[in-house]
Amino acid sequence: MSVLDTAASPAAPDHLLDVNDLVVHFPAGRQGPFGKTSFVHAVDGVSFRVRRGTTFGIVGESGSGKSTTALAVLRLAPITSGQVVFAGRDIADLSGSPLREMRKHLQIVFQDPFSALNPRRRAGDQIREPLDLLGIGSGSERDDRVRKLLAEVGLPPQAADLFPHQFSGGQRQRLCIARALAPEPDLIVCDEAVSALDVAIQAQILNLLKRLQRERRLTYMFISHDLGVVQQFCDEVAVMYLGKIVEQGSAAKLFTAPCHPYTWSLIAAAAPPGPVRDALKQRHLVKGDPPSPVDPPPGCRFVQRCPAAVDRCRQQLPSLDAIDPSHYVACHRASDLAETFIQIRS
């Protein structure tokens, strides 16, 4: 497919993306005039790997660091420390033209197609823009590709001459997808790409994304708060809470045997109506909002809202441990809780 394939390390031939201990901190003012600077711990030591051609889902509440993680992978948010190995090459420290060269392999589809398109430029020009900026192909080749891309996302060729306001929300999201596809990327981040759309349109876009993935062997990072969509759409899922991954595993494992109390809370909110849901809600649905990510205290991030917290949780930050080759949990009480969870399911 590209030169990058040959550059990939032989040890992990199918891992397109390998994120190691990624940290993104934003300064958030000082504590008093001479005090030390506070930091928002947006992403605090996140590691995961994404296999080529699969979909990696990230779920969590707003403020959990899902989007920041994705933006850091795309080098659109400043990385404080950690590695982002893309196709065998650490891109965390790249700058200048090597970084620009890398950009064509990484693209993004944003949540709100109304603000992601320039209202003053024609649709065709906007799809062509990444090709122009990255210097891909000659002029006529670029026009050609724009036409092909429009057809691929299910829009007529005349759409190229229209302005964004002449499209509906779903069509605009199709334009955003066409634009992301233009430089033929390997990885596309879908940051809540269907959340702003109506349910009927959401299904159209999800089907389109899946078809493109099959045809082009695309790799997706799919950020969403809708567990129903994530369960169906993703191969691997990570649950984030306040800058940390609290549970990660294959979609099958994670949703058949979730282990972290926070995952249970999300499931309790999304479960289909019925007595099981009522029982889940009563036991697991956490109340209120997550605490502030500015200078978090030591210990587990979830401790204030966790129904199963013990003293140890307040003092020691749990590490993300494997309970199964494809399932990781960061919880001190995972093994104690497993039994009560099983009771509910049965």
Partner 1 sequence: MTLLEVDSLNVSMRNAEGHLVSVIENLSFSVAHGQTTALVGESGCGKSMTALALMRLLPEDFVITSGRILLEGRDLLSLSAKEMRSLRGRAMSMIFQEPMTALNPLFTVGDQIAEVLRWHQGLGGSAARERAIALLRVVQIPAAEQRVDAYPHQLSGGMRQRVMIAMALAGRPKLLIADEPTTALDVTVQAQIFDLLAELQQETGAAVLLITHDLGAVAELADEILVLYAGRCIEAGVSADIVEAPRHPYTRGLLNCVPHFTLGRAPKPWVDLGEIPGMVPPLGARGADCAFLARCALAADICRSRPQPALDPIGPGHAVSCWREAGGTT
Q: Which stretches of the chain bind partner 1, using CB under 8 A?
A: 61-62, 168-171, 198-204, 206-207, 210-211, 225-229, 231-233, 251-252, 255-256, 265-273, 276, 281, 285-289, 345
Beta strands in the chain (DSSP E): 15-30, 37-51, 55-59, 81-86, 89-90, 106-109, 187-191, 219-223, 236-241, 244-250, 321-324, 327-329
How near is the Cβ of 285 to partner 1 at its closest, in Å? 6
Nearer to partner 1, 138 or 282 (CB): 282
Beta strands in 153-288 (DSSP E): 187-191, 219-223, 236-241, 244-250
How near is the Cβ of 179 to partner 1 at its closest, in Å? 20
DSSP 242: T
User: What backbone torsions phi and psi does residue 50 show, to the nearest 5 degrees?
Assistant: -125, 125
DSSP 273: S
Contact 168, 85 (CB under 8 A): no
Specify the amino acid at residue 167: F
- Between CA 157 and CA 164, with CA 158 as vertex, the angle to 5 degrees is 105
CA distance 297 to 318: 13
How near is the Cβ of 287 to partner 1 at its closest, in Å? 7
Nearer to partner 1, 61 or 125 (CB): 61
Q: Any residues with CB less than 8 A from the CB of 20 and at least 6 apart, and which?
A: 47, 82, 83, 84, 85
Nearer to partner 1, 54 or 106 (CB): 54
Nearer to partner 1, 159 or 286 (CB): 286
Beta-carbon count within 10 A of 200 CB: 8
3-state DSSP assignment of residue 296: coil
CA distance 141 to 137: 6
How near is the Cβ of 8 to partner 1 at its closest, in Å? 26
3-state DSSP assignment of residue 83: strand
Nearer to partner 1, 84 or 155 (CB): 155
How near is the Cβ of 221 to partner 1 at its closest, in Å? 17
Nearer to partner 1, 83 or 304 (CB): 304
How near is the Cβ of 226 to partner 1 at its closest, in Å? 7
| N- to C-terminal Cα separation, the chain | 47
How near is the Cβ of 55 to partner 1 at its closest, in Å? 9
Nearer to partner 1, 11 or 199 (CB): 199
Contact 258, 284 (CB under 8 A): no
Nearer to partner 1, 48 or 233 (CB): 233
Nearer to partner 1, 64 or 107 (CB): 64
How near is the Cβ of 225 to partner 1 at its closest, in Å? 5
How near is the Cβ of 199 to partner 1 at its closest, in Å? 5
